[in-house]
Every structure is written in structure tokens, then in C-alpha cells.
Amino acid sequence: MTRVDTYPTHKYNEFNLRHGNPLPFGAQIVSGGVNFSIYSTHAASCELALFKKREKEPYAVIPFPDEFRIGNVFSMIVFDLDYEDIEYGFRMDGPFDFAQGHWFNRSKILLDPYAKAIGGRDVWGREPDWKDSYQYRARIAFDDFNWEDDRPLEIPMNDLIIYEMHVRGFTRHQSSNVRYPGTFAAIREKIPYLKELGVNCIELMPIYEFDEFENSRISPVNGERLMNYWGYSTVGFFAPKAGYAATGKYSMQVDEFKALVKDLHSHGMEVILDVVFNHTAEGNENGPYISFRGIDNKIYYMLTPGGYYYNFSGCGNTLNCNNPIVRNMILDCLRYWAAEYHVDGFRFDLATILGRSQDGSPMNNPPLLETLAFDPVLGKCKLIAEAWDAGGLYQVGSFPSWGRWAEWNGKYRDDLRKFLKGEEGFAGAMAQRIQGSPDLYNPDYRGSCASINFVTCHDGFTLMDLVSYNWKHNDANGEGNNDGSNDNYSWNCGVEGGTEDYGVNFLRRKQIKNAVSMLLLSRGVPMLLSGDEMGNTQFGNNNAYCQDNEISWLDWNLLNTNHDIFNYFKKMIAFRKAHPAVRGMDSNRGGFEDNGYPGISWHGARAWSADFSSFSRLLGIMFCGKRKDASGITRDDFVYIAMNMHWEMHGFELPQLPEGFSWHVFANTDMDSPQDIWEDGQEKPLGNQREVLAGPRSVVVLVGK
Amino acid sequence: MIGMKISSQINEGITVFVLDGRLDVNTSPAVEGELLKAVAPDCMLLIDMSKCDYVSSAGLRVLLVIAKQLAKAGANGALLGLVEDVRDVMQMTGFDNIFKNYETFGEAAQALKGAGT
């Protein structure tokens, strides 16, 4: 039966129109036409500009008739549009009054905040026509997709192993040997590699449409073009980046990204998106009109009483996250990615901003964070906060969570790095971190699942650089080496940068293996930085946000050079998966297993006696739990980790095992590969069952079986 | 506007449609209409794509709809001679598993007849 509202009621020039549906916002394909809907409180009028794809001038500008506005929403159905080959934008008229926060300018073509696909940067790095007055062009996307029986995987947090990745950097290097380097499609080609490594969750650095040419410039140091490579500057929250899709030139980025998610899911891997809601690409008072500024500046941005932009993001403006309109937009956006793209979770960049009120002050119970925590559609999504912002608010351990939010545990990273480099007195801190940071995440409330543990992430040194450089080397960024963090807690093992010195290189590899052993044998959720498993270097650059070149791109040849590192990562990941006692549940924290052993116990040079003094560089930990053996019988399981971060060898007296059990060596980072780590089940019996010797700056992992 | 020529013939009991042109939002309704008319229980349908050098998002969806209708009717379909660019696009957008593609009529005919027995 045909609906009665599928016929035009109005005409404007050759266009047939009728009243639109105010909800949902954006452009929707409806029977016979397209429904356009956009909100603005302060606009006096609105026009729809229609373009043929990639043409500079609109072929039509259709005013929204007054009678088509409901409340503060302009909506209209335009019939008979060739919706695959058009782009659209809006023009808004209203007051221009800086002090009042109004920036209306009817001459500007504005991007729909709800645009589901965006053209203008269809192919990464292709120089845009800067004379084009409409740079980022809304397109109409098909929402349907052949998902078959796919849905988000809902892997328990305890079992998650996250792999943080830059879409382009992962495969852009020619050594990646993929068909369309640097794209979503190329990640699919690398799924067998990711499976072999063993990770079960891919966290993608921003994939919302951004402009790689934003603030683009030539490096005065090496003449390279510097780009907005990382993409922490959103142009459109609802649109996947076209330039990351091999099919972006055909505007098929939506389908290509969905195909990636579906394929990853079918191989047991979740997808988490790194989302940037703290600011937009419109910058400060000198930035361009892209969208929000011309639609309702005062609503979308936090403004000082004088009308200037607050800058809690460090990027020129701050999205007004706890304004009810903006809050709804963020919720709509996340629901869209969860429902339409089957995304498994989100990591929120500078999430602390999401808890600031409209005047910038921190709130006790920020409505946005609460809404996201309890939203039905997001009910099983992972919500991960980067719990600080550029305004100086640091909330690691205290981010408002309602038991739902996890955090990037910055304290984990810092304490592990200090312990790793041999700073004295960090054994106690390390004990907290390894057991899931109960000092930060109350086991009775949030527990260790709230702790995303990491040693490295995109922001900072790679793991190889952490053990190869004492100082950052960011000159190529063209900022006089003033950008990037100075607090790296790194140690170069004796020589700054690359070296042929065997001893230094052996120590570096050992330190990498030490670090990943601690990370993967900690409770909480481990996160690896893509490339660390092959010893990737950024040549000491700890802030490669603008480096679209070999500084950032993974060199897959390193898999051969550093095969021992890859092998170590792979086996340690498999070990974590095979030993539930390591991953742990908060329910057995501090308690005893039925064999009388505690779930976690602390040791040192003497068993049952850890040295947490201010001079200590030694820590032994034993996990006790259950695991199924090869024949499916559940047995007691013991894992002992001796961590000696002193530069001399030390003996660790071992706890006595129950009768019938004995200690076996699973890993010893002081050994050359392949004797450094063994297959699950192939661990070597330990000669002296009373004591294990850990070499200088070494980790030894034992299993009791 | 560049259109699409649709022709059909029956060869060895297989209905072969030749799509000559661009399969996009403008030509999709006609393609959908023509091909769905041929969908019947136990039919064999082959879509010759060798003269189709572009398939848009709308076009991909038409192929999917035809595949679903064939499956519903208990019938079989296949593609013939996809050009490389279109094949790549179908693979990258996840539309590659809706139909099998064959390089020659003989291979396609053998597969379609085999699937029906």
C-alpha cells in the first residue's frame, strides 16, 4: 500500500517538494526522494544547496519554506533526485554578533553535521582545489548492508587483547605487500597476520572524516610535506574517511568499512573506534567555516563570556558536549556507529572534556557520560576514556564511570616504564599495576576491567624507541623539537638511537620482551601498539602526528629482522589466553583457591616475602587458578613471574608447589631466541625447584604443573 | 546521462542477461525490473557483466536483491566476465559473495547446471 505522504505538495522551480520529517536529522533516502533535516535554534532561515558531484557551483538552491520548519528544525523532502551523484550543503541566515557568539554568514555553504558520507578528500593526499568554496561535501549514503548474521562480538573485557592501529600506517609501506595499501580493504588482507599474532580487538585511530591537509606545511628540516596524519580533528562525525577506502573514489567508503568490520568479526576480532568529540576541525576564531560555526556557533561550542572559544582541547575550540543538543548529537552518532556499523566499542580522545559543563568547569555527574553509560543501544559497547584533557584535568582512576567506563591507565604506563628502566622503589607500584590497579579501580566497584593497560600507544615512543632513546627527536615535525612529551621515562640502553653494538641490541630486545611480559601478564585489559611486535621504530619521534612517511608507516621487513620479537609477542599472547589465572577475575582478589593458595601472591628474593622498599628493583608474583589441560580436565594452575630490573643477576626463592606439581620454564628474556620462550605445553622443567635465577634486567616466567 | 542496454537470450536453458553500460542509481530500476521478471523456481540466470565497467552502490544492491530473490525461489544465478575494477569494488565492499563469477559461459553453465542437480 502506498503511503499518502509520498506525493509532492509544493514546487520550487523544477523541484517537487513536501514537508519533511524532522527526525532523524541528516539526509535519508525515502520513497521517491530524499528527506533533508537540519537543526538550528538561532538561524532565521535555511537553504538547501544541491551540487552535481565535485562541481564547484550548486545547480540549485532551494529555500526551506517557512511552513516546513517545525520547532528549530528545517526539514523538507525533495523528489526525483539523482541521489547517488549529488552533494548537498546548507546555507543559514541569522545574526552575526561576535560577543553574543553568533557567526551566521549566508554566503557560506555548510556541511551537514549528520552527513553519512563526505566527499572532497576522496583520495588520500590528492591536493584539493582550495578555491572551491565547499571543501567537505555531504553525500547521501545507503544504510543497508548485507550483514547476514553478523553482530558485535561482546568479548568479555577480561579476555580482550587490544591492538591500536593507524589505518594508513599499517599497510602504506610498500613492504606490506597488499593490493591497495593504506586502506580499510588492506586491513582485511592482513587479517591472517593479526590472527597469527593472536589479538582479538583492533582499535582504529580516528576514521571519522578529517582533512589530511589541515595545517599542512613543508618541513623546514627535511622538505617533506607535513600532514594531519593522525586525524584527531573531526570534519564529520557520522562519515568514515573516504581517503581510507580504496573505493573512496567511488564514494563507497561506507560499504568498504562495513565489509572490514564484518570480516574482522568473522575472524573473532572486535573493532573499537578512537573518537574525537572534544573539538572539531573548525579551529579557533581564525578557522574556517565548515559546519557547526555557521549552523549554530553558540550551541555547538563552549564560548567565553566575550564570545571567544574556550580551548580545553589544545586545538582551538571545544565542543559544547554537555549542551543538550550536542549531547544528543554525540549519542545519535555513537548509536549510529554501533547499530549501522556493528562497531564494538569506542575510545574517547580527551574524554575529560566530555565531563565539563558549558562554562568549562568539571561536573560531578556529567549528563553526557551518564547517558552513554546507560544507553540501551550502547549497552554492550566498550566505553574507554582517555581520562585527561589539555586543560589540565587528570582523572585517571576517578573518571565518572557508573561502572561502565574503562580508562587508558596512564599510571600503568608510567610506573611500568620506570620499573623497566631500573628506577628503584617501583616494585610496590608495579605490584599494584600488575594486579589491575586496585588502588585506582576499586575491585568491589569497577575492578581491573576498567584498566586499559599499555606501555606504548600512538602518542609517544614506540616500544623499540622507548628502549633506544633517552630523548625525543621530533625535529622533522618542524617545531624545533618543542612538541611531544618530555616525560617518556625511556632509557636507550647505552647508545642514543640505532647501533651495531651487539650488547646494546641484545639488551634492547630483552627490555622489549620484559615490557611485553609484564603487560600481557597483568590483570586488566592489555593494549599493544601496532608495530611493536616487529620492533617498529619512529627513529625517536615521539609525536609523529604529521608524518605521512616512513617515520610512521610500518616496515613489514622488520618481521624478518626482528622475528624473535614477533615470536615472543605471539607466544606471550597465547599464554595469556591459555591461563585464566593470569587474566583473573576480581572475585578471587585477595581470596584463596580451594587448594589453599592465594589467587595472587607476592614474592622476592625470598618466597612469600616481597621487597616493596624504596630500594627494590625485584618483584616476584604468583597467580594461582584453574585451567583445563589438553584432555579437558580442569586442574590447578600456577604461574610465577620473576622480574629482576636490577643490572645484576638475582635469585628468587620459589614458593613450594603442591605434591605432584613442579616448576617449568615458559619464558626467560635473558636467553637467546628461540630459547627465550616456549610453546604452551612445551615448557622446560626447572632444574632447581627451590630457586630460579633471573639474569640482569630479565623476566622469567614459570608454570607449575 | 550514460544509460544501460539490457538484452537477454536463452542459451542451454540458461537465461543470459547482458548488461552493457553503467549499473548505477539511474539504470538500476530497469535492471532490477527486467531481471526479476525472469526469476522463477528452478530457473538458471546468468548476468553477463563483461560490458559493464562501473557498478555503483545502488547497482551492488540490485545484484544483492536479485540474488536474494533467486534464493527465495530456489533458483540459481551467476555472473559472467566481471571486469577487474568492478570485481575489486565488489570484493572490497563485501558484495563479492552474493554471486560467483565465471570467466566463460561454459564454466558458468556447468556450475549452474551442477548446482541445480
| Per-residue model confidence (pLDDT) at position B24 | 93
Reported confidence tier of residue A390, pLDDT bands at 50, 70, 90: confident
Contacts of A254 in chain B (CB under 8 A): 57
DSSP-derived 3-state class of residue A656: coil
The position carrying cell 549519542 is A331
Does pLDDT of A587 surpass 60?
no
| Per-residue model confidence (pLDDT) at position A590 | 58
CB contact under 8 Å between A246 and B94, yes or no, is no
CB contact under 8 Å between B64 and A256, yes or no, is no
How high does pLDDT run on average in chain B? 93
pTM assigned to the model: 0.97
Question: Which grid cell sits at B30?
Answer: 530497469
Does pLDDT of A294 surpass 60?
yes
Does pLDDT of B117 surpass 60?
no
Average pLDDT over residues A254-275: 98
CA A149 to chain centre: 26
* Residue A386 designated active-site: yes
In this prediction, what percent of chain A has a pLDDT beyond 90?
92
CA A101 to chain centre: 33
A157-177 confidence digits (pLDDT tens): 999 999 999 999 999 999 999
Sheet strand arrangement including A45-52: A60-63, A45-52, A86-93, A137-139, A117-119
DSSP A143: -
Does pLDDT of A391 surpass 90?
no
* Residue A85 designated active-site: no
Of B24, B88, B93, the CB nearest to A255: B93
In this prediction, what percent of chain B has a pLDDT beyond 70?
97
A197-224 confidence digits (pLDDT tens): 999 999 999 999 999 999 999 988 888 8
Contacts of B95 in chain A (CB under 8 A): 146, 255
CA distance B27 to B40: 23
CA distance A383 to A583: 20
Strand ranges inside A243-304, DSSP E: 270-275
Nearest residue to A169 (alpha-carbon basis) of A202, A194, A197, A205: A205
B65–A contact, CB cutoff 8 A: no
**Residue in chain A lying closest to B54 (CA):** A250
| Per-residue model confidence (pLDDT) at position A389 | 87
Annotated catalytic residue, options A87, A296, A349, A533: A349
Does pLDDT of B1 surpass 60?
no
CA A213 to chain centre: 22
Average pLDDT over residues A555-580: 97
Average pLDDT over residues A495-500: 97
CB contact under 8 Å between A247 and B89, yes or no, is yes
Of A82, A256, A263, the CB nearest to B25: A82
Reported confidence tier of residue A445, pLDDT bands at 50, 70, 90: confident
Does pLDDT of B2 surpass 90?
no
Reported confidence tier of residue A585, pLDDT bands at 50, 70, 90: low
Does pLDDT of B44 surpass 70?
yes
Nearest residue to A247 (alpha-carbon basis) of A239, A235, A236, A255: A255
- Report ipTM for this prediction: 0.95
Of B61, B89, B94, the CB nearest to A262: B94
A295: enclosing H helix or E strand:
helix A292-300
| Per-residue model confidence (pLDDT) at position A628 | 87
Nearest residue to A578 (alpha-carbon basis) of A543, A630, A533, A643: A630
Reported confidence tier of residue A443, pLDDT bands at 50, 70, 90: confident
Question: Which grid cell sits at B51?
Answer: 560490458
Average pLDDT over residues A1-27: 92
Furthest-apart CA pair in chain B: how many Å? 43
Higher pLDDT among residues B97 and A60, named by residue: A60
| Per-residue model confidence (pLDDT) at position A2 | 76
The position carrying cell 583492533 is A202
Candidates B4, B52, B57, B61, partner chain A, best to mutate (most A CBs within 10 A): B57
Contacts of B89 in chain A (CB under 8 A): 247, 250, 252
| Per-residue model confidence (pLDDT) at position A593 | 78
Give B65 to chain A, closest Cα distance, Å: 10
How high does pLDDT run on average in chain A? 95
Instruction: Please say whether the beta carbons of A96 and A84 come within 8 A.
Output: no
